[in-house]
């Protein structure tokens, strides 16, 4: 029970009939108040965290409506949108923001992602055959188990992207940033890596045939045959 009488809260030490001073009563209530305050602050912090997380990946309803209606959305805000298993083949998403979006197992064949922002986007298992990622920023995206036949990644930022288990055939990575990317257990055939930055990239256990690495930066780059560091400058 809270003590609200100011005569009790602010009085000096004055024993009551039970020999308990007003100071000890104040201390007890102060401790109780402190515990409640900490509890309320914790609840508030959790709520603020959830709110920030929501708005961090909150897409524009207007842009989504335009996309659903027209199938075209240039420079749209589609952050965090859920397109799981959706058929989006051939759509135009140039310059759009798809950061954190769920595109797992979606049909994205021939989609135009030029200049799009796909940071931390989940594309696991998606069909990306013929897609165009020219100058797109897809750092830390998940492209594991995807179909990457004839995809253009020229000048794209693919730092930290996971290509694990993907089928990467006849794709172009000209001047792409592939720092710390992961190609483990990937089928890599007929791909072009001219002037790509492959610093720290991992190709362990990948099946590699007829790929061109001319002019690529190979520094601490791990291949099935060993680590290549000829391109390190330090």
126 Cβ contact partners less than 8 Å away, ≥ 6 residues apart: 103, 104, 105, 106, 107, 108, 143, 146, 147
Residues forming beta bridges with residue 97, ordered by sequence position: 77, 117
Considering the domain 59-234 in this protein, what is its CATH number? 2.160.20
**Per-residue model confidence as pLDDT tens digits over 45-64:** 554 444 334 444 455 577 66
Helix boundaries (H) for 100-165: none
pTM, full prediction: 0.74
For the chain, domain boundaries: 6-56, 59-234
What pLDDT sits at residue 205? 96
What pLDDT sits at residue 59? 57
What pLDDT sits at residue 207? 97
**Per-residue model confidence as pLDDT tens digits over 204-232:** 999 999 999 999 999 999 999 999 998 89
Task: Report, as ranges of residue numbers, the positions in the chain whose pLDDT lies below 50.
Answer: 1-13, 17, 20, 25-26, 47-57
What pLDDT sits at residue 119? 97
What pLDDT sits at residue 2? 47
d(CA 17, CA 27): 18
């Amino acid at each position: 029970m809270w003590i609200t009488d100011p005569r009790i809260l602010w009085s000096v030490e004055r024993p009551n009939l039970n020999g308990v001073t007003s100071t000890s009563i104040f201390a007890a209530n102060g401790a109780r108040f402190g515990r409640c305050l900490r509890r309320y602050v914790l609840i508030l912090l959790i709520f603020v965290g959830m709110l920030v997380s929501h708005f961090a990946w909150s897409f524009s309803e207007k842009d989504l409506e335009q996309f659903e209606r027209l199938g075209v959305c240039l420079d749209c805000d589609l952050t965090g949108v859920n397109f799981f298993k959706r058929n989006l083949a051939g759509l135009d998403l140039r310059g759009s923001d798809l950061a954190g979006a769920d595109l797992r197992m979606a049909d994205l064949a021939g989609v135009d992602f030029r200049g799009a922002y796909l940071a931390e986007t989940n594309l696991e298992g998606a069909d990306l055959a013929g897609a165009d990622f020219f100058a797109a920023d897809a750092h830390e995206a998940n492209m594991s188990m995807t179909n990457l036949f004839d995809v253009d990644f020229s000048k794209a930022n693919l730092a930290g992207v996971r290509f694990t288990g993907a089928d990467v055939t006849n794709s172009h990575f000209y001047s792409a940033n592939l720092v710390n990317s992961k190609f483990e257990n990937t089928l890599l055939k007929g791909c072009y890596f001219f002037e790509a930055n492959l610093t720290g990239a991992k190709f362990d256990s990948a099946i590699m045939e007829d790929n061109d690495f001319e002019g690529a930066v190979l520094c601490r780059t791990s291949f099935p045959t060993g680590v290549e560091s000829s391109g390190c400058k330090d």
